[in-house]
Amino acid sequence: MEQYALITGASGGIGKELAHIHAQNRHNLILVARSEEKLEELKNSWEAQYKIKVMTFACDLSKPANATLIYDALRKNDISIDFLINNAGFGNYGLFAKTNPSINISMIALNVQALTHIIHLFLPDMIAHGKGRIMNVSSIAGFFPGPFMATYYASKSYVLSLSEALANELQGTGVTVTALCPGPTQSNFANVANFSASKIFKSNIPTALDVAKFGFRAMIKGKTVAIHGTKNRLMVWASRFVTRKMLTNIIRKTQEIKP
């Protein structure tokens, strides 16, 4: 039986690697990203190599109408989604008071609003079919307050909390929700966020493929929270033994970029 995976932010990084893993498993793909050129390259390559069907939607998901357009187009073609992967998102570095407000608002629109909207659209059908896997790409940032990236950290906290709550609500329905929580990863995220000069990106960090493989396995198992990397899991575990104020100061020192 044919299966379909919808992946947002599919043109690069973790999203691209997750899409490739689904392609290797012979899942048909619905790829969503802003770059039409990159999406078409992936479509042509994977259709030829894996003999699967690939549909692409080049659009900005921070505009709510686009998620609805995607859902309506799939319904029109009688396509049901078996795997829903909400990966699209971005961050921005700097003191909150000095960052561009429009960037923070756009971040919330993509990281929070679009993710929520897409789940609202596709979840009822999954429940009706009695099966489905949802992965929301959060971050270890979701466990902490994040000076210099306050809005990004807050957005990932929302994603983590929403995922855990939905996973609980959906028990017994055949639908699972997984929050994938990677730490710093080799991708274009740091460049987009103006954060590449941070010391946390100078050490050995996992590749996007490493994270994607881990996340895919966790999603298939129906795991609710999947923190990638032993160091990251220890950091989250240890955070419960310090005060929130102390924790915030630690994160600040870790993230601060000194001239």
pLDDT in tens, 140-164: 999 999 999 999 999 999 999 999 9
Q: What is the DSSP letter of 193?
A: T
pLDDT at 192 over 90: no
Active-site pick, 4, 50, 71, 152: 152
Instruction: State pTM to two decimals.
Output: 0.92
pLDDT in tens, 69-106: 999 999 999 999 999 999 999 999 999 999 999 999 99
Tell me how far CA of residue 132 lies from CA of 36, 76, 81, 118, 190, in angstroms.
27, 20, 8, 14, 32
Q: Does the pLDDT of residue 190 top 80, yes or no?
A: no
Question: Does the annotation mark 93 as catalytic?
Answer: no
Q: What's the pLDDT score for residue 204?
A: 78
Taking residues 12-38, report their average pLDDT.
97
Q: What is the mean pLDDT of residues 35-49?
A: 96
What's the pLDDT score for residue 199?
A: 61
CATH of domain 4-255: 3.40.50.720
d(CA 258, CA 138): 27
Question: What was the pLDDT predicted at 256?
Answer: 82
Indicate the average pLDDT of the chain: 93
Cβ–Cβ < 8 Å for 153, 145:
yes
Q: Are 158 and 114 in contact (CB under 8 A)?
A: no
